[in-house]
Amino acid sequence: MPCFEKTAAYRVTDAGYVTSVNGMVHPDRIMKEYDFLYILEGSWEIYEADTPYSLQTDDLLILTPGLRHYGKKSCNPGNRHMYIHVLPPNAKMDNPENSLLSPSLLHCQKNAKIHQCFHEIITARWVPGPEQQNRLSLLFSLLLCEISEFLSMPVPHSAPDPVVEQACERVRTTPQLFFTASQMAANFFLCERTLHNRFQRACGKTFYAFQMETKLEMVRRFLLTQPQAKLHEAALNYGFYDEFHLSKAFKKQFGVSPSEYRKTHKGNA
C-alpha cells in the first residue's frame, strides 16, 4: 500500500487532463514518480506488477514508483482522466502519526474535495512563477489530507443527496441570509415537504434545524474571534432578526447567553 507523510515536501513533475478519443492502452513503464490517476469519465484496466485494477468513473489509482505499470487492453473511447506525477520526498518519514497509508485504488464516489484538489494542482502546474513548486507541494499535501479524511469516513449506506449537499453549501456560503424551507425548496423546484424528508434522510434533522445549528456555530466562532464586535453585528452578519432573537437562540443551543459565553471563553479563539 502506498505510504505518504502528509506534510512532507513533494515535487510535482507533471499534471494534466487527458482525453482519449479512440481509447488507448496504458503505457508499459517503470516510473520514478508516484502516478496519481483519476478517472473523470469511462473505464480502464491498469496493472501494477501482476495486480490488475479495474477503474470506473470517479476512481483514483495511485501507482507506486519502481514497479512496472501497464495495460493489456484499451480504455473506452472518449475516456477522460486527470493525472499527477510526484516524486517521493528526499527525507525519510520521521513522523508516523502524520502518515497516510492508502490503498492503491480508491472509489471516491464523486468526492468533490479530492476532485477539486486535482484540478487546482493541474491549474498551478500550468501557471509558471517563482512560487510554483512551493504552491504545488502545498496543494499536494492538501490532496493527501483530503484522501486521509475520505478514508477515515464511515462507508455511506447510500449515495449523497445532491440537493441536500447544495442546500447545505448555500447556507454556509450566504450566512447573512436566513432561508425559509419553502424558499430553499423552490431553488430546487421541490415542495417544502420533499425537502424536509430529504434532509431527514441525509442529516437526521430538518432543514430548519440544520440551518439554525450552522448559523449558531458561526456566531459562536465570531464571538471569540471578534471580541470587540457588538451582538447586533453578529445578528446582522448571520441573518437573525435582531440581537434579542439571536441571544435567545444562542442560549437555547449552548446553555448560556452570548455575553456569558464570550466572557467564559475569552482568549480561547
Fold matches, 3-152 and 162-264: no
pLDDT for 247 = 93
Q: Is the pLDDT confidence value at 91 over 70? A: no
Query: What is the reported pLDDT for 192?
Result: 92
User: Is the pLDDT assigned to residue 148 strictly greater than 70?
Assistant: yes
Give the residue-averaged pLDDT of 149-157.
Answer: 71
- Is a pLDDT exceeding 70 seen at residue 202? yes
Q: How far is CA 221 from CA 24, 166, 211, in A?
A: 52, 23, 16
Least confident span in 80-89, 104-113, 182-191, 211-220: 104-113
Residues 6+ apart with CB under 8 A from 3: 93, 99, 100, 101, 102
pLDDT at 19 over 60: yes
Checking if the pLDDT of 121 tops 70, the result is yes
Residue of 200, 218, 106 lying closest to 153 (CA atoms): 106
Higher pLDDT, 70 or 97: 70
Phi, psi of 82 (to 5 degrees): -115, 155
pTM over 0.85: no
Q: Give the mean model confidence (pLDDT) for residues 182-203.
A: 91
Q: What's 162-264's CATH class?
A: mainly alpha
Write down the pLDDT at residue 156.
Answer: 54
The residue with cell 512496472 is 68
pLDDT bracket for residue 269 (50, 70, 90): low
**Res 216 pLDDT > 90:** yes
Here the cell at position 109 is 464516489
Question: What is the band of 201 on the pLDDT scale with cuts at 50, 70, 90?
Answer: confident
Q: What is the pLDDT of residue 188?
A: 92
Q: Tell whether the torsion through CA atoms of 164, 166, 170 and 173 is positive or negative.
A: positive
Task: Work out the average pLDDT over 191-217.
Answer: 91
User: Cα(82)–Cα(60) distance, rounded to whole angstroms?
Assistant: 9
- CATH 3.40.640.10 is right for the domain spanning 3-152: no
| pLDDT above 90: residue 166 | yes
Domain residue ranges in the chain = 3-152, 162-264
Residue 265 has pLDDT above 90, yes or no: no
Mean of per-residue pLDDT scores for the chain? 87
Number of other CB atoms surrounding residue 219 within 10 Å: 25
95 pLDDT more than 70? no
Question: Does 245 score more than 70 pLDDT?
Answer: yes
**Looking at residues 155-174, what average pLDDT do you find?**
83
All 3 cell numbers of residue 48?
Answer: 501494477
Read out DSSP for 19-36? Answer: EESS--PPP-EE-SSEEE
4 - beta bridge partners?
100
Q: What is the C-alpha to C-alpha distance for residues 169 and 177, in angstroms, rounded to an integer?
A: 13
Band the pLDDT of 61: cuts 50, 70, 90.
very high
pLDDT band at 234 (very low <50, low <70, confident <90, very high): very high
For the cut 70, the answer to whether the pLDDT of residue 115 exceeds it is yes
CB atoms within 10 A of CB 21: 8
What is residue 122's predicted lDDT score, i.e. its pLDDT?
92
Residue count of the chain, please give it: 269
Helix axes 192-203, 207-225, angle to 10 degrees: 60
Beta bridge partners of 18: 81
